[in-house]
Structure formats: C-alpha cells, structure tokens
Amino acid sequence: LGQLYWREFFYLCGFSIPNFGQMKGNPVCKQIPWDRSKDAKQKLEAWENARTGYPWIDACMTQLREQGWLHHLARHSVACFLTRGDLWVSWEDGRDVFHKLLIDGDWSLNNANWMWLSCSSFFYQYFRVYSPITFGKKYDPEGKYIKHFLPKLAKFPSKFIYEPWKAPLSVQEECNCVVGKDYPFPIVDHNLASKENMKRMAQAYADNKEEASTPATKKARKGH
C-alpha cells in the first residue's frame, strides 16, 4: 500500500511541479554541477552498455537491456553508481536511458526516482552510498546473478566474482577472462570516487542553501 501512496504522490508531483522532468527550473530539485564533459559522456556510455568493470553494475545493466526490467534494489544500485555514488553523471542522462529501455517506464515515476536516488530531491542522505561490490554480495554471495548475465565471468570463483581484477592472473587465465582484455578494469576506484563525490554533494547542498536564502530567491518564491 505504501508503494501505491508513493506512486500517486509522484503522479501529483509530475502534474503540478513546473519542469519536473529536468533539473533547471525545477523548484524541488537541487541544482548540482554534474559532470557534462566528454569524459562524462564516455562514462555514461560505459554504464549504459555494461562496461563499467564492476560486475554487479554490469549484470544489472545487461538485464535491463535484455529484459527491459530490473528489481527495484538493482535500479537503486545503478542509479546511485551513475550519479552521486561514483560517476558524477547527471540523473537526467540516466533517466533517459531508463525511459528508453524499461518496459514499465513511467514519466513521473522515472523522474522522481532518479531525483531521489541522486539525492536531488525527496531523499537527502547523500552520505548513504550503494557499494557496487558489497551491496550485491549481501544478497547473492556466490554471484549467481552476475554469472547468469555476464557469462564471460561464469568460471570465476565466488571470492572474486564481484572483484575479478583482484584474482591472480593465473586464475583469470584459467577462467578464460583476463581483466583488461576480456573484461574491463573498474572505470573508477569506488572508494576514492564515492568520498570525492560526498564532498561535492556537501558543497552543492551548501550552495543551494545559500542561494535559497538570497533576497532575490525569496522574492521570486513569494511571487510564485
């Protein structure tokens, strides 16, 4: 029942909030300086095409492309990874990919959930990040999901399935999958990227708070 309440709430938001499908001009969306460089576009492409080097994320994105559906926890993982967690790419870009691939895509829900997972609106605990390694391992320690959607990693022992780059070269060769050749190295170092992005989020939140307190902003909101 709670999920139905959220659905109806997000429908109301989509109908009543100006520019709900974008960051700019959206009164409930925090203005965050996402990376929109050429490098960011390459990261977006790698994420969309399951080439991040993180098997949990790549398995999720493979399922999305093949089946047009993902469990909500998998959606949470890949959305966090693309935005505030690791790659610092705009939620609008991830939203577009989901809109293109999801068979259960819904404009209001898609926008709302991407704002939520990127901590742009509705949810603001940006220090809570989904790990692309430990989160999936919690529910699937043997990596059966990964082995199903990424068969090139199917022979890896469970101890390395979430982090194949840590497997000795001899193990990689035995599994017929050498990282850097048959499967990519991680696109970023999660520990470093997530910490850096938390700092970016903290600064963005501070900037938004300062902007909201300016006389011009208060006057504009009062007039609206």
The DSSP annotation for 113-131 comes to: HHHHHTTSSS---TT----
Query: Helices 91-101 and 72-80: crossing angle, nearest 10°?
Result: 140
Instruction: Please state the separation of Cα 222 from the chain's center in Å.
Output: 34
Distance CA 92, CA 75 (A): 15
The values of phi and psi at residue 183, to 5°, are -150, 140
**DSSP 3-state percent helix, strand, coil across the chain (nearest 5):** 60, 0, 40
Mean pLDDT of 86-95: 98
What is the predicted pLDDT for the residue at 201?
97
88 exposure class (CB count in 10 Å sphere: 0-12, 13-18, 19+): buried
The values of phi and psi at residue 140, to 5°, are -145, 70
Helix (H, G, I), strand (E, B) or coil at 176: coil
What is the predicted pLDDT for the residue at 3?
85
Distance CA 22, CA 61 (A): 23
Bridge partner list, 23: none
The amino acid that residue 94 corresponds to is G
Mean pLDDT of 24-44: 97
165 exposure class (CB count in 10 Å sphere: 0-12, 13-18, 19+): middle
The model's pLDDT over 173-194, given as tens digits with 9 standing for 90+, comes to 999 999 999 999 999 999 999 9
CA distances, 210 to each of 11, 31, 42, 115, 122 (Å): 30, 12, 32, 21, 19
Distance CA 172, CA 7 (A): 45
In this model, does residue 72 exceed pLDDT 60?
yes
In this model, does residue 224 exceed pLDDT 80?
no
Distance CA 156, CA 138 (A): 18
Q: Which residue has the higher pLDDT, 14 or 211?
A: 14
Distance CA 205, CA 126 (A): 10
Question: Chain-wide mean pLDDT for the chain?
Answer: 94
Which pTM does this prediction carry?
A: 0.92
